[in-house]
Structure 1
């Protein structure tokens, strides 16, 4: 079979990493694997396998007839069986499907604000969904929502999986070895860096040699400016560091002890899976599917969102107790490797592909 992963950009977001990971692993499992970035390229392009056939469209507007024609021709010329459309790329996939009737669409819903689905707009999506052969939802809330709201033939829950490149080693973190906390999250309001910074200020008062490292796309917008201003106001400029997106995620994480997410809303964060593969002790807010990855007080800690005092107290538990950190990180790594492996998720995906082609 021939499958095209369709994604808006190759920036370092969760949906983008899933699309690249899928294209890469499928290249060894199916006849031909393709990936198309519609609007922007980015750091993730560096991690794309040479065995993946790549197309960049440079789409500039919602309805771009040249882009539609180019992608439609690409699909037809390469005899693509399935367009696996991620996030908002479903609209372009639907238009192309109309002129390529033999091609099927799978939509992969990575919607991050799954705690606030009642306000999600779905008019165009609902229309397009009648052309979807299947929907993959990254958490149970999204799965139930799709079954109630959309017209797709079938819907299933598909947890994310992480795949790390251990060969890259470029980024050297600031701070003291063995005393680093990392937050792998793009600078977006949903990720709530404010609560994290507030909690870390209290940590810094007790343990000034510990540092916080924020890895993720910096959009240089109002949110980014406010977060950095907060760091400066709290006197943390020598203890909190921002690195923007980085291609060598595994190497970055291997330099840290504790991985944290302070999000207000999530699906199943790939960052949490990557923390596990890198052997970090983890803390995350109890939102989305985080509770299905972290078993509180067994292999990590779950905290309430927007609660900086609870986050501070939990960070201190880890900092004060190296034995606890090592025990939880070991249990967590084993759990991630067993339940969120590339192999187990790939089997589910290929089965759906085969059912659709039949």
Structure 2
């Protein structure tokens, strides 16, 4: 099999990580694995294995003739059989299929606002979905939505998996060792850092030495400005630290004790899986598929979204109960390894590919 992963950028978002992880994993199991970034490169480019063929299009507009020609030439010269298109890249994949009728398109739906699907604009998607041979969704809510709204026959839920580069060590976090909490999430309103920061204020009132480290891509917008002003308003400048997207995620996570996510809406966030790989105790909001990964009070703590007090109490529970924290961290790590591994998901994907190619 010869497969191309198609993604808009290689910045450190969830869909981007999935695309790179798949390209790398599949390179071990098939004749040819490639990945194409259509609009932007990014930090994740460093994570692409040497055996994975990489293409960058530098696409600048919705219909970019130069980019289409470049991708079409790459597909023909490398005899690509399947384009695995992630998120909005389905549009370019569909254009390519008009020139290559035998190409199979697999679309991967990573839609992050699964809690607010009633607001999703899908008119263009519905038209092009007729060209898709199969659709993967990152959670069961999306699977149900796709079946109901796109009326597609071949749809399946594919849990995300995560891998981390353990060799890169660049970042040294502020704060005291053994007293750090990390939030690995791009600075978008959906991730609700504001609730997290207000909850952490309650933590600091009881435990002044603990620090919170928020790592992700900022967009230098009003939301990011609001986060910074909230930190200043609550006088948390010595306890809450903001970092741009980083390439040494594993190194960062292993400097922390607790991983937290305060999202209003999610699919199956890669960050949760990465917390498990790094052996952290986990606190997260009960949205999307998170409740299927964190077995509440068995291997982690779930709280309702947009609840400052509940989030604060969950963090305090782990801070004040080290034995519980270490036990849950160990159990969660084992759960991730057993159910969200690269091997199990790669096997499912290859099975689907083979069915499409007959």
TM-score scaled by length of structure 2? 0.99
Q: Which runs of 4+ in 1 moved over 3 A?
A: none
- Matched position secondary structure for 1:39: coil
Residue 226 of structure 1 pairs with residue 238 of structure 2: no
| Superposed CA RMSD | 0.7
User: For the residues of structure 1 that align with 2:272 and 2:83, how far apart are their CA atoms?
Assistant: 28
On the 8 A contact 1:4/1:36 being kept in 2, the answer is yes
Shift of 1:151: 4.4
- Matched position secondary structure for 2:8: strand
- Map 1:6-155 → 2, pairs under 5 A: 6-155=6-155
User: For the residues of structure 2 that align with 1:239 and 1:14, how far apart are their CA atoms?
Assistant: 27
On the 8 A contact 1:187/1:216 being kept in 2, the answer is yes
Shift of 1:57: 0.5
Partner of 2:189: 189
User: For the residues of structure 1 that align with 2:38 and 2:222, how far apart are their CA atoms?
Assistant: 26
Shift of 1:153: 3.9
On the 8 A contact 2:147/2:153 being kept in 1, the answer is no
Unpaired runs of 5+ in structure 1? none
Partner of 1:332: 332
User: For the residues of structure 2 that align with 1:152 and 1:97, how far apart are their CA atoms?
Assistant: 18
- Matched position secondary structure for 1:183: strand
- Matched position secondary structure for 1:214: strand
Residue 165 of structure 1 pairs with residue 202 of structure 2: no
- Matched position secondary structure for 1:105: strand
User: For the residues of structure 1 that align with 2:66 and 2:32, how far apart are their CA atoms?
Assistant: 25
Number of corresponding residues = 358
> 1:311-346: CA deviations, max 9, x gaps?
011111100010000010011000000000000000
TM-score scaled by length of structure 1? 0.99
User: For the residues of structure 1 that align with 2:108 and 2:152, how far apart are their CA atoms?
Assistant: 12
On the 8 A contact 1:130/1:151 being kept in 2, the answer is no
Partner of 1:307: 307
- Matched position secondary structure for 1:324: helix
Residue 238 of structure 1 pairs with residue 238 of structure 2: yes
> 1:250-301: CA deviations, max 9, x gaps?
1100000000000000000000000001000001100000000001110001
User: For the residues of structure 2 that align with 1:272 and 1:27, how far apart are their CA atoms?
Assistant: 25
Partner of 1:249: 249
